[in-house]
Chains A and B, each alone.
Chain A
Amino acid sequence: MELIVKNLVKKFKSTVAVDNISFKIEKNNTLGLLGPNGCGKTTSIGMMLGLITPTQGEILINGTKLNSENRIKLLSFMNFASPYIELPKKLTVRQNLEVYARLYGVNEKVQRIDELIEELNLSKFLYRNTGELSSGQKNRVSLAKSLINKPKLLFLDEPTASLDPDVGDFVREYLEKYKKKNELTMLLASHNMKEVERLCDKVIMMKQGKIVDNGTCQEIIKKHGRENLEDTFLKIARSKNELE
């Protein structure tokens, strides 16, 4: 699926959270959405998921405008995972996956759930309450939920935040493999620059609601004369004159 964002603006009273951003993610590509805390990443994702009404601008998914009329239809091809939202804690992992498989209208529910159980190694805690799991386990369950409907467009908000390096690497490797086998366009918001370099085809840098730079990781690193994306991020985040 192709995602086009055109002149997107979100104002909360006098605060401009997202200030006229435009970008495009081509089919099967991964775009990294970078920027310091409070720069408008989550608000932007919220608008792309139809959770927040934009003040201005439009979002086109495969040429179809995301609005109240076709939001439900488009959502069935999309999904989202974030460590900041959780699944019902008192339901077992299997129950949660079953509920979401039904909500997303998955046809072969049992087969799809079994596939995800195997691919994400969920079998050991399948019948435990989701609230009792470790961060790493919860993260894998959340990822399983986000892939339950085989989304064509996936939004990931800091997918490896608070994970140990081993689990973090497992998630990144899994996403790489998954993308090779399936049609998937991804938008990844992350503060882990190595993760962004590894997974993203292109990145956009946001600051104070605006896009201040965009391109491939190498292009941006080269443009700012830095050695890696982390240094580039720091340079952009700390510079005042980028926007002034």
Chain B
Amino acid sequence: MNWNKIFALSLRHIYLIKGSFPRILDLIYWPTIQIFLWGFISKFFTLNSSYYENTVGIILSAAILYDFLFRSSISYNMMFLEEIWSRNFTNLFIAPIKLSEIIAALTFTAIFRTMIGLVPAALLAIPFFGVSILKIGAPLIFLLVTLYIFGVTLGLLVTSGLVRFGPSFENIAWASLFFLAPLGCIYYPIEILPEWLQIIAKLLPLVHIFEEMRNILIYDIINYSQIFKAIFISFLYFVIGVTTFYISYSGARNRGTLINIGE
């Protein structure tokens, strides 16, 4: 890994964000709207649901964590799409940069984009709704890392599709996370799902992350084995994501699509 090259590619995206106020505004706008929407829903539920009555902020915390996952994945996809939209794809792939360095650069820069959007939104939740995700405590770091790995993995799978099928795969990029959301048990316990769906849901790290978040916030119990299980599953998906990306890249080289992907 050449860190100078990884930095160079990150710099390209940092310049892009830094040079455009509307872009920064766009990064902040959606998470903030999301936080306010779920903040009010959360407030309503805490007043009207016996499950949530003594646990102010569970839904909002879940919304913040889910948005973190969503933004990580979308940031990854967006940076890749930027190369296609700007027709810079060929320039990038004829530069002496390894595929692993491209993946690393996008992974590191995605966190930067994600934080720009999410930190202001998460901070706003404190004065407006009295909810701070920091209440989760030290396990929060593990939950965020797990979500981030899984978010990047989804980004990798979508970018693999973009390399394989071209820009027409763009719509899938936006739809990918909504597809998994019902199975992630973000706002409800896993028992809500039919039994056969529970089996599938448990194969995703999301269930373990959000179940653990609820355990911490409702029962004040930290189950590290559950957290490490989620990290392990996420990492497994990450390996699958990287492998898929390499296979797609190799396929694109065979089909000759890398040279005109932006056209």
Query: Residues 81-125 of chain A: 1 if any B CB is under 8 Å from the residue's CB, otherwise 0?
Result: 010111111111001001110111100000000000000000000
Bound CA span A49–B258, Å? 11
Query: Residues 150-181 of chain A: 1 if any B CB is under 8 Å from the residue's CB, otherwise 0?
Result: 00000000000000000000000000000000
A91 touches B19 (CB 8 A): yes
Residue of A nearest to B92 (CB): A103
B135 within 8 Å of A by Cβ? no
Bound CA span A86–B90, Å? 9
Instruction: Specify which chain B residues have a CB less than 8 angstroms from the CB of A17 in the assembled complex.
Output: 256
B5 within 8 Å of A by Cβ? yes
Contacts A87-B86, A88-B86; is A52 near B94 (CB within 8 Å)? no
Q: Which of A85, A105, A129, A145 has the most CB of B within 10 A?
A: A85
Instruction: Specify which chain B residues have a CB less than 8 angstroms from the CB of A80 in the assembled complex.
Output: 90-91, 94
B94 to chain A, nearest CB (A): 5
- Quick one: which of A75, A90, A100 contacts B20, CB cutoff 8 A? A90
A234 within 8 Å of B by Cβ? no
A43 within 8 Å of B by Cβ? yes
A17 to chain B, nearest CB (A): 8
B5 touches A103 (CB 8 A): yes
Contacts A85-B87, A105-B5; is A91 near B12 (CB within 8 Å)? yes
Contacts A86-B86, A91-B15; is A103 near B253 (CB within 8 Å)? no
B259 touches A75 (CB 8 A): no
A72 touches B97 (CB 8 A): yes
Instruction: Specify which chain B residues have a CB less than 8 angstroms from the CB of A52 in the assembled complex.
Output: 253-254, 256, 258-259
Dominant secondary structure of chain A at its interface with chain B? mixed
Instruction: Specify which chain B residues have a CB less than 8 angstroms from the CB of A85 in the assembled complex.
Output: 87-91, 262
B112 to chain A, nearest CB (A): 16
Instruction: Specify which chain B residues have a CB less than 8 angstroms from the CB of A88 in the assembled complex.
Output: 12, 16, 82-83, 86, 88
- Quick one: which of A87, A92, A103 contacts B96, CB cutoff 8 A? A103
Query: Residues 222-256 of chain B: 1 if any A CB is under 8 Å from the residue's CB, otherwise 0?
Result: 00000000000000000000000000001001111
A76 within 8 Å of B by Cβ? yes
Residue of B nearest to A78 (CB): B94
Instruction: Specify which chain A residues have a CB less than 8 angstroms from the CB of B20 in the assembled complex.
Output: 90
B90 to chain A, nearest CB (A): 4
A10 within 8 Å of B by Cβ? yes
Bound CA span A198–B19, Å? 42
- Quick one: which of A42, A87, A95 contacts B259, CB cutoff 8 A? A42
Contacts A89-B86, A103-B5; is A12 near B255 (CB within 8 Å)? yes
A51 touches B253 (CB 8 A): yes
B110 to chain A, nearest CB (A): 17
- Quick one: which of B9, B86, B93, B256 contacts A10, CB cutoff 8 A? B256
Instruction: Specify which chain A residues have a CB less than 8 angstroms from the CB of B221 in the assembled complex.
Output: none
Contacts A86-B87, A99-B11, A103-B9; is A72 near B96 (CB within 8 Å)? yes
Residue of B nearest to A98 (CB): B11
Contacts of B71-115 to chain A: CB distance below 8 A: 82-83, 86-91, 93-98
Going nearest first, the 4 A-B pairs with the smallest beta carbon separation are: A102-B8, A76-B96, A75-B96, A86-B87
Beyond the given A99-B8, A99-B15, A103-B96, could you list 5 further A-B residue pairs with CB under 8 A, ordered by the A residue number? Answer: A51-B94, A51-B258, A86-B91, A88-B12, A95-B15
